[in-house]
Amino acid sequence: MTEALELTGALNPRSAWDAERCSLAKALEVVSTRSAFLLLREAFYGTERFDDFASRVGVSDPVAAARLKQLVEDGLLVREPYREPGQRTRYAYRLSDKGADLFPALVALMQWGDRWLAEDGPPVEVRHKRCAATVHAELRCECGHDVALGELELARPGARRRS
């Protein structure tokens, strides 16, 4: 029972504008499927080869092939040939910068699952290498404040607030 965001300026009331250009909607066009999310998770875990993706995510070959292909098309993964001695050329799927930049979103979702859905506590934990402290996805403003949900407002970019 939390209150909603405060809509400011031209965004208030909600009925006065539409969300056609919504970036969330655009992001979901790229990664709205379960398999896409999970394949990305695997990529963050360091998986690179086709068979490993399919078996570790627990998805069938055709789905793995289709999703990986699309993630490459969308620029989240890069398909790179590599060669181990005595082996033939294979292909590795690696995160591009665009794909890697999705990590905060993955962590946020994963930790929401930890908090609300995992009975036995989190199965794995993301930590900071240097200090070994656990890492969380948090909302923070550019001045450095931690921001709670009640302290947020939605604005049209560039629009200044009438104080």
Partner DNA sequence: ACACTGACTTAGGACAACAGAAGTTAGCTA
Partner DNA sequence: TAGCTAACTTCTGTTGTCCTAAGTCAGTGT
Query: Given the rule CB under 7 A, which residues bind DNA?
Result: 32-36, 49-52, 58-63, 65-69, 79, 86-91
Task: Select the binding partner of residue 91 from DNA, its own copies, none (C-beta < 5 to 8 A, by kind).
Answer: DNA
Q: What are phi and psi of 92, to 5 degrees?
A: -110, 140
Cβ density class 21-42: b for 16+ within 10 Å, e for less: eeeeeeeeebbeeebbbbbbbb
Residues 40-69 that bind its own copies (CB under 8 A): 41, 43-47, 52, 56-57
- 67 vs 99, beta carbon nearer DNA: 67
**Does residue 77 contact residue 94 with C-beta atoms inside 8 Å?**
yes
Cis peptide before 13 (omega within 30 of 0): yes
Is 70 a residue that touches its own copies (CB under 8 A)?
A: no
Residue 83 binds its own copies (CB under 8 A): no
Residue 2 tokens read as 């939390």
Closest separation in Å from C-beta 130 to DNA: 34
Identify which of residues 65 and 137 has a Cβ nearer to DNA in the complex: 65
Closest separation in Å from C-beta 110 to its own copies: 4
Closest CA to 93 of 73, 111, 63, 113: 73
Which of 59, 15, 52, 14 is closest to 36 using CA atoms? Answer: 59
Is 79 near its own copies (CB under 8 A)?
no
List the interface residues with its own copies, window 100-139 (CB under 8 A).
Answer: 100-118, 120-139
CB of 84 to its own copies, least distance (A): 16
